[in-house]
């Protein structure tokens, strides 16, 4: 790895900015994501910051099954993000469709629309699991 790439990776791992997108979740996963960012769990100590705009973000954190209406929006948000970009699927729904599998308006998990780098199961995924997933993703970037 040349030195420039090394510096870039180092910087990226130190301050991954995330954007949270709810693709049809029941809210439980979303409040757990927010809870992971608030004082008790404090995901920010890993440099993770919640951003509002896809263009600022490195990691797209998705929760919920993909509903048919939201499918194209999810694609669009993913396309707007700058490379390199990663996707974390939070919750069983985001991983596979979960309890909503088979509903007429549900496409399936996040990976039925865009590629996913990390899956965090749980209904809802607890903040601890979310931190674990985020840290594992960051560790895998080092390689």
| Residue 9 touches another protein, criterion: CB under 8 A | no
Using CB under 6 A, pick the residue from 109, 124, 127, 133 that binds ligand SF4.
124
Using CB under 8 A, pick the residue from 9, 22, 49, 111 that binds another protein.
22
Contact flags string 15-44 toward ligand SF4, x per CB under 6 A: ----------xx-xx---------------
Strand partners, 62: 21, 89
Rounded Cα distance, 115 and 57, in Å: 16
| Residue 102 touches another protein, criterion: CB under 8 A | yes
Q: Residue 105 CB: number of other CB atoms within 10 A?
A: 12
Tokens of 50: 């919640």
Residue among 9, 31, 10 nearest 130 (CA):
31
Rounded Cα distance, 86 and 9, in Å: 13
Q: How far apart are CB 140 and another protein at their closest, in Å?
A: 25
User: Do the beta carbons of residue 98 and residue 115 sit within 8 Å?
Assistant: no
Contact flags string 47-66 toward another protein, x per CB under 8 A: ---x-xxx---------xx-
| Residue 86 touches another protein, criterion: CB under 8 A | no
Using CB under 6 A, pick the residue from 98, 108, 127, 133 that binds ligand SF4.
98
DSSP 2: -
Strand partners, 85: none
Q: Which residues bind another protein (CB under 8 A)?
A: 19-32, 34-35, 38-40, 50, 52-54, 64-65, 67, 69-70, 73, 77, 99-100, 102-106, 123-124, 126
């Amino acid at each position: 790895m040349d030195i420039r790439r090394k510096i870039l990776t180092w910087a990226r791992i130190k301050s991954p900015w995330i954007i949270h997108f709810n693709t049809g979740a029941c809210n439980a996963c979303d409040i757990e994501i927010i809870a992971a960012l608030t004082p008790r769990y404090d995901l920010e100590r890993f440099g993770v910051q919640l951003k509002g705009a896809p263009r600022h973000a490195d990691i797209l954190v998705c929760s919920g099954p993909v509903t048919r209406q939201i499918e194209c929006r999810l694609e669009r948000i993913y396309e707007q993000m700058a490379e390199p970009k990663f996707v974390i699927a939070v919750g069983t729904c985001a991983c596979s469709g979960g309890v909503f599998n088979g509903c007429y308006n549900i496409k399936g998990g996040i990976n039925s629309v865009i590629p996913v780098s990390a899956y965090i199961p749980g209904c809802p995924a607890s903040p601890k699991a979310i931190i674990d997933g985020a840290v594992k993703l960051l560790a895998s970037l080092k390689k």
